Amino acid sequence: MKTFTFFLLVIIFFKNDMMAQVQPVLLADNVNRPNLMVIDNNSMYVGDNYNQKIIKININNPTSAPVDLIEGLMGGPYGLTLKDEYLYISELEGGRILRVNLTNPNPVPETIISNLEGPSGLNFIGNNLYIALLSGNKICKIDISQPNPVLEDVIAVESPFDIEKVDKYIYYTQRIASGTVSRFEINNPLATNETIISDISFPSGLILKNNDLYFCRSKGLTVGSDDSGVVKFDINNPVTSEVILPGSIDGPTGLFFLNNDLFISDFYENKIYKAEVFILGTKEIQNGKIQFYPNPAKDFIRINGLGTQKNYKIFDLTGKLIQTGNISRSENTIYVNGMTKGLYFLLLEDGNKFKFMID
């Protein structure tokens, strides 16, 4: 009975992390046709596509009225990205890249380059701003350190929507009925497009968290589709898994991570959602004194930073006690190669708790 009660307390402590899929909660419902977004400290910047403006939302007080940052845009604010004190904005219909200085209490947009064919997603690599041209069917770049940046073609792509740098690659989504998440090598002049995930219904927003790449999937103009959702895959093992329960968001478009909170814009429902996502990775607690890794594990787990010898217990999801033992600063490895794949809980006698996966 004592073991069961102890484990029940741990299950309650970890209950939100045991869900493979999460249900998003409403953050704001006062945004008209929100697209891609960025967050700086506690301020979310997002395009209001219907009213042709950029608004600012206080994510710590989302029920307060959004603040209009920039109004009177020429059409379709889509991509947003931050560099230094500037917010960069793409106008899909206006064909421009703009920027505003966020340190200015009354920012005035500055045109960086114009006459583009449907600029959408933006991503910086150094001073090079990479631009997905949705209508132009290519990804280009400009050097924003130049006084008059010149557009340089990078690679031809059908209907690229959002882009994300991952190591030596740029990943992108294709906003078509049977779209893909694909990639190309950045500094390879002979680079070609490599499809990673195919047959996705109108993929849009793209964001990296640790080794997982998250993307939005929707049904185009079909509101209420059960196929809409947020999906992820490990960049080292591209097998998709659902993150947001399918059908819980009609038109997911933009994604942004702040710590373990995933923010999602819903273009069709005029809303912003937030979901707490279980992120596997090195777990550090007690101000970094104790470090737990690797996670996911395969053959062993290791705990660094222990002071004295401590007893441990490992439970599976059913509450079954799987393994016991002791661990110390010098003997800091626990072998788990005999365990089956799944989620486990490790409890130290001093009250420290860890969750980990066996892969």
Instruction: For residue 351, give the DSSP letter.
Output: S
The DSSP string of 133-194 is: ETTTTEEEEEETTSSS---EEEEE-SSEEEEEEETTEEEEEE-STTEEEEEEETT-TT---E
Cα–Cα distance for residue pair 90/309, rounded to 1 Å: 57
Buried b (16+ CB within 10 A) or exposed e, 149-166: bebeebbebebbbbbbee
Instruction: Compute, in degrees rounded to 10, the torsion defined by CA atoms 152, 153, 159, 162.
Output: -50
Instruction: Dump pLDDT digits (tens) for 145-201.
Output: 999 999 999 999 999 999 999 999 999 999 887 899 999 999 999 999 999 999 998
One-letter amino acid for residue 68 of the chain: D
Q: Give the pLDDT score at 226.
A: 56
What's the mean pLDDT when you consider all of the chain? 86
Alpha carbon distances (Å) from 291 to 280, 351, 359: 14, 15, 19
- The answer to whether 106 and 128 have CB atoms below 8 angstroms apart is no
Instruction: Dump pLDDT digits (tens) for 191-247.
Output: 999 999 999 989 999 999 988 999 999 865 444 445 788 999 999 889 888 888 777
Q: Give the pLDDT score at 220.
A: 57
In degrees, rounded to 5, the angle at the alpha carbon of residue 27 between the alpha carbons of residues 229 and 84 is 90
The 3-class SS string of 197-227 reads EEEECCCCCEEEECCEEEEEECCCCCCCCCC
pLDDT value at 330 more than 70: yes
pTM for the full predicted model: 0.75
* Sheet containing 229-234, strands listed edge to edge, beginning at the edge strand earlier in sequence: 206-209, 212-217, 229-234, 237-242
- Per-range mean pLDDT, top range of 10-14, 64-68, 170-174: 170-174
One-letter amino acid for residue 23 of the chain: Q
Give the tokens for residue 75. 């059409």
- The answer to whether 208 and 162 have CB atoms below 8 angstroms apart is no
Lowest-pLDDT range of 103-112, 213-222, 327-336: 213-222
pLDDT value at 1 more than 70: no
